[in-house]
């Protein structure tokens, strides 16, 4: 099996490490724009070949994973086009799917493309923070294009399962709405909560100094890479605008209950949500 990885950061590195762990004889070819992670991947025995150009090394891959930020992944499609063969399944790990499917249809319409998105990650970027364990136990969305046969999808599913993930097939539009609600809005909530504290803190910064576990848990992802999140939000802006409208309505409901002194309304709001939160398993 020959696997190409474009972008050796947190997710590209974790995929390469998970494949190496489960498929010791796989040939893993890696592109990265900077040399440092490539040197480390060679030294770690994760990569067999490395390159700072998207070139012939990617010929005859069974799988190619695009692992750069969501808009940047698109810029690699025409560079890879000459090296996609009959057996190559082209996939990505980007957090949005409609934009990459539209670009693939335009730039490499004959490619066997299956969008992908592992529901695992963290706020820290880069190869240094990657690990095979990061993906283990995670759901992994797949969005097969019309060019991908059931057999192609099964090949990718098998690889994903071998990394310890559970594949979940969805339409690209549905994917973007789902992750808008469970990932993108929570990031916006985290960024804006930190902003609230930053704006309201005293000159002695007592809030910053004393904030405890709850605040740190809920805002952990506000340490994520701004460029990555700028690209994700812009690629999913229509869903995010309508989900934000709904979220603002919910905040208004809480505010109204406070203004009216509606203890019962506030209690019922919390009780309802607590029950649903309990149903979300670890």
Residue whose CB is less far from ligand NAD, 75 or 262 = 75
Residue whose CB is less far from ligand NAD, 126 or 268 = 126
Residue whose CB is less far from ligand NAD, 2 or 117 = 117
Q: Cβ of residue 93: shortest distance to ligand NAD, in angstroms?
A: 4
Burial 247-273 (b: 16+ CB within 10 A, else e): eeeeeeeeeebeeeeeeeebeeeeeee
Q: Cβ of residue 129: shortest distance to ligand NAD, in angstroms?
A: 7
Residue whose CB is less far from ligand NAD, 22 or 122 = 122
Task: Count how many residues are written for the chain.
Answer: 282
Residue whose CB is less far from ligand NAD, 227 or 263 = 227
Q: Cβ of residue 206: shortest distance to ligand NAD, in angstroms?
A: 31
- Residues at the site binding ligand NAD, with contacts judged by CB under 6 A: 7-12, 32-34, 67-70, 72, 93-95, 117-118, 121-122, 125-126, 225, 228, 232
**Would you state the structure tokens that stand for residue 79, as one six-digit string?**
């560079």
Residue whose CB is less far from ligand NAD, 60 or 225 = 225
Q: Cβ of residue 128: shortest distance to ligand NAD, in angstroms?
A: 9
Q: Cβ of residue 184: shortest distance to ligand NAD, in angstroms?
A: 10
Q: Cβ of residue 121: shortest distance to ligand NAD, in angstroms?
A: 2
């Amino acid at each position: 099996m020959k696997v190409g990885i474009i972008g050796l950061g947190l997710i590209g590195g974790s995929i390469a490490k998970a494949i190496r762990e489960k498929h010791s004889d796989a040939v893993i070819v890696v592109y990265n724009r900077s040399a440092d992670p490539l040197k480390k991947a060679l030294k770690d025995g994760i990569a067999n070949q490395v390159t700072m150009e998207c070139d012939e090394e990617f010929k005859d891959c069974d799988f190619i994973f695009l692992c750069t930020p969501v808009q940047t992944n698109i810029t690699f499609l025409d560079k890879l086009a000459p090296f996609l063969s009959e057996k190559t399944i082209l996939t990505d790990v980007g957090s949005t799917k409609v934009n990459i499917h539209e670009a693939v249809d335009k730039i490499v319409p004959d490619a066997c493309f299956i969008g992908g998105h592992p529901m695992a990650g963290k706020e820290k970027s880069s190869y240094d923070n990657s690990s095979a364990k990061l993906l283990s136990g995670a759901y992994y969305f797949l969005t097969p294009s019309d060019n991908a046969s059931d057999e192609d999808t099964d090949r990718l599913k098998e690889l994903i399962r071998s990394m310890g993930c559970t594949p979940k097939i969805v339409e690209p539009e549905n994917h973007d709405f789902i992750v808008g609600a469970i990932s993108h809005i929570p990031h916006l909530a985290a960024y804006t909560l930190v902003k609230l504290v930053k704006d309201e803190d005293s000159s002695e910064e007592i809030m910053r100094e004393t904030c405890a576990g709850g605040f740190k848990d809920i805002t952990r992802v506000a340490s994520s890479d701004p460029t990555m999140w700028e690209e994700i939000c812009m690629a999913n802006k229509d869903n995010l605008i309508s989900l934000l409208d709904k979220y603002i309505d919910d905040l208004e409901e809480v505010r109204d209950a406070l203004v009216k002194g509606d203890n019962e309304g506030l209690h019922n709001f919390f009780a309802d949500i607590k029950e649903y939160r309990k149903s979300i398993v670890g």
